[in-house]
Amino acid sequence: MQALLADLLTLLELERIEENIFRGESRDIGSKRVFGGQVLGQALSAASYTVEGREAHSLHAYFLRAGDVKAPIIFEVDRARDGSSFSSRRVVAIQHGRPIFNMAASFQKPEQGLDHQASMPDVPGPDDLMDLRELTGDRASSIPEGLRRFLTRERPFEMRPVEGVDLLSASPRDPVRHLWFKTVDRLPDNPDLHRNLLAYVADYQLLGTATLPHGIHWEQGNVQMASLDHAMWFHRPFRIDDWLLYSMVSPNASGARGLAFGRFFTAAGELVASTAQEGLIRIWDKC
Is residue 26 flagged as an active site residue? no
Is residue 128 flagged as an active site residue? no
Q: SS3 for 192?
A: helix
* Residue 225 CB-density burial (10 A; 0-12 exposed, 13-18 middle, 19+ buried): middle
Contacts of 214 (CB under 8 A, 6+ apart): 172, 253
Q: Which of 203, 247, 250, 274 is catalytic?
A: 203
- Residue pair 159/131 in contact (Cβ under 8 Å)? The answer is yes
Count of alpha carbons within 13 Å of 81, Cβ hemisphere only?
10
Q: Say how far apart CA 265 and CA 247 lie, in whole Å.
A: 8
Q: SS3 for 15?
A: strand
Which one, of 237, 247, 225, 229, lies nearest residue 270 by Cα?
237
Q: Which of 48, 87, 106, 227 is catalytic?
A: 227
- Residue pair 152/140 in contact (Cβ under 8 Å)? The answer is yes
- Residue pair 108/57 in contact (Cβ under 8 Å)? The answer is yes
- Residue pair 9/241 in contact (Cβ under 8 Å)? The answer is no
Is residue 87 flagged as an active site residue? no
Measured N-to-C along each axis, helices 36-48 and 3-12 cross at an angle, to the nearest 10 degrees, of 60
Rg, the chain, Cα only: 19
Which one, of 15, 271, 2, 277, lies nearest residue 120 by Cα?
271
Which one, of 126, 235, 160, lies nearest residue 191 by Cα?
235
Q: Say how far apart CA 234 and CA 256 lie, in whole Å.
A: 29
Catalytic annotation, residues: 203, 227, 277
